[in-house]
């Protein structure tokens, strides 16, 4: 298989591929010229494995891998179509979350469906931050006789996630007035890219509604900001008093006037912000129905984690985003051709048990 990209998520996906007992890495795509020619193991902090990164798409296609794990921040539809047409399965964190009722519209999915049909390949979008949370929300409905609504929240202090360009794009560090001028009436629209324009979060809502057999009539989006009440120091700089240092975005899909699925992200640079939102630090899932269920999911360093200090703490979230895609590869390769959701797959699990054979 091929790993596409070696950024924050891609690096963790690459390490997961190398550790997976059922996967054999044959190629790596890297965007940075300084990474081309570098061994895949070196790029993800492991031992060299004899596979060098390249930026040559044709060379990777010529390898005819069974699957590509596609993890760039911004998906390129043309590249994805080329893989599918070549008969190469695609598992991606880049926002291609299929939902028949989804916001992208039938034309977007039709192009990918035609490519998958032509090549006899499958594609699964696993989602973001981490991608298995909507799946877990769906599974939590199993004990319910009736489901009224499903909600999941992501809570995170992001002052140690060193991505200053992304935070600037989101309007962090500006006054509320300057940010309003930057993002316009729609809030954080962030262009047409798949992973940061909110479509990945919204499509997750549609996909869960699909899994529950709920027809969706529309959606709503709400955006709120919080400002620093004192200077907040992060790994890359300081957010001044009165500047934007928190963001909460809520996506809701509705049946008629009733909200059926909600996805919400709450990000703050630190504690010293107003308004002071409740921060549960992790993922909180609520399913309302008969009965109702609640689950709080924390992502913490485990016995095998290599988190030395606060600078590497965000790696845990990146692993949680990358690993669902990697662990789904065998199931996707076994699946019938076409665009897939999690509920189309056989139940699968992580297969790397560390030193179980030692």
pLDDT on residue 198: 63
- For the record, the structure tokens of 13 come out as 């996906």
Judged against a pLDDT cut of 80, whether residue 103 lies above it is answered with no
pLDDT on residue 43: 97
Q: Please, which pLDDT band fits residue 189 given cuts at 50, 70 and 90?
A: very low
- For the record, the structure tokens of 209 come out as 């509604």
Mean pLDDT of 207-228: 92
pLDDT on residue 186: 57
Mean pLDDT of 115-128: 94
Judged against a pLDDT cut of 90, whether residue 41 lies above it is answered with yes
Mean pLDDT of 233-249: 96
> In this structure, what DSSP letter does residue 338 have?
E
Q: Please, which pLDDT band fits residue 192 given cuts at 50, 70 and 90?
A: very low
Strand partners, 248: 224, 266
C-alpha 12/C-alpha 323 separation (Å) is 8
C-alpha 14/C-alpha 24 separation (Å) is 11
> In this structure, what DSSP letter does residue 229 have?
S
Angle (CA) 83 88 92, round 5°: 75
- For the record, the structure tokens of 36 come out as 């081309």
Using CA atoms in the order 305, 309, 311, 316, what is the torsion angle rounded to 10 degrees?
A: 20
DSSP reduced 3-state for 221: strand
Mean pLDDT of 118-126: 96
pLDDT on residue 44: 94
Give me the percent of the chain exceeding a pLDDT of 70.
89
Of the candidates 253, 12, 5, 276, which has an alpha carbon nearest to the alpha carbon of residue 130? 12
List the domains of the chain with CATH numbers: 2-130+320-344 (3.40.50.720), 133-298 (3.30.360)
Judged against a pLDDT cut of 90, whether residue 265 lies above it is answered with yes
Query: Per residue in 308-333, pLDDT tens?
Result: 555 566 677 788 889 999 999 999 99
pLDDT on residue 352: 67
Q: Are 337 and 121 in contact (CB under 8 A)?
A: yes
Strand partners, 338: 122
C-alpha 18/C-alpha 27 separation (Å) is 12
What's the whole-model pTM score? 0.86
Judged against a pLDDT cut of 90, whether residue 348 lies above it is answered with no
pLDDT on residue 107: 80
- For the record, the structure tokens of 237 come out as 């700089």
pLDDT on residue 2: 98
Angle (CA) 16 17 18, round 5°: 90
Judged against a pLDDT cut of 50, whether residue 191 lies above it is answered with no
pLDDT on residue 160: 83
Q: Are 196 and 101 in contact (CB under 8 A)?
A: no
pLDDT on residue 298: 83
pLDDT on residue 358: 40
- Sheet with 67-70, side-by-side order of all strands: 53-54, 27-29, 2-4, 67-70, 89-92, 122-125, 338-340
């Amino acid at each position: 298989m091929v790993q596409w990209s070696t950024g924050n998520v891609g690096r963790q996906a690459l390490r997961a591929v190398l550790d997976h007992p059922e996967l054999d890495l044959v190629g790596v795509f890297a965007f940075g010229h300084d990474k081309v020619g570098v061994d895949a193991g070196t790029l993800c902090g492991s031992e060299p494995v004899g596979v060098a990164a390249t930026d040559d798409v044709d060379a990777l296609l010529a390898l005819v891998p069974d699957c590509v794990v596609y993890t760039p921040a911004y998906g390129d539809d043309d590249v994805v179509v080329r893989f599918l047409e070549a008969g190469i399965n695609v598992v991606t964190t880049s926002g291609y979350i299929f939902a028949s009722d989804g916001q992208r519209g039938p034309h977007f999915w039709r192009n990918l469906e035609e490519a998958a049909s032509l090549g006899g390949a499958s594609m699964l979008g696993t989602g973001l931050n981490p991608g298995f949370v909507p799946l877990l929300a769906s599974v939590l409905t199993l004990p319910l006789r009736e489901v009224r609504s499903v909600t999941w929240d992501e809570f995170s202090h992001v002052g140690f996630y060193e991505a200053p360009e992304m935070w600037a794009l989101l309007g962090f560090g500006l006054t509320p007035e300057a940010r309003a001028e930057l993002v316009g009436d729609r809030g954080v629209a962030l262009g047409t890219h798949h992973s940061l324009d909110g479509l990945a979060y919204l499509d997750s809502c549609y996909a869960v509604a699909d899994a529950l057999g709920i027809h969706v009539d529309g959606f709503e989006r709400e955006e709120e900001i919080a400002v620093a009440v004192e200077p907040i120091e992060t790994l890359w700089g300081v957010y001044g008093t009165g500047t934007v240092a928190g963001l909460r975005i809520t996506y809701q899909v509705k049946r008629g006037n009733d909200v059926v699925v909600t996805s919400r992200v709450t990000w703050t640079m630190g504690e010293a912000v107003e308004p002071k939102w409740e921060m549960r630090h992790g993922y909180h899932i609520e399913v309302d129905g008969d009965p109702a269920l609640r689950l709080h999911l924390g992502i913490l360093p485990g016995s095998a984690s290599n988190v030395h200090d606060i600078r590497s703490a965000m790696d845990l979230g990146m692993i949680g985003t990358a690993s669902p895609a990697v662990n789904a590869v065998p199931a996707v390769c076994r699946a019938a051709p076409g665009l897939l959701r999690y509920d189309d797959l056989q139940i699968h699990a992580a297969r790397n048990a560390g030193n179980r054979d030692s």
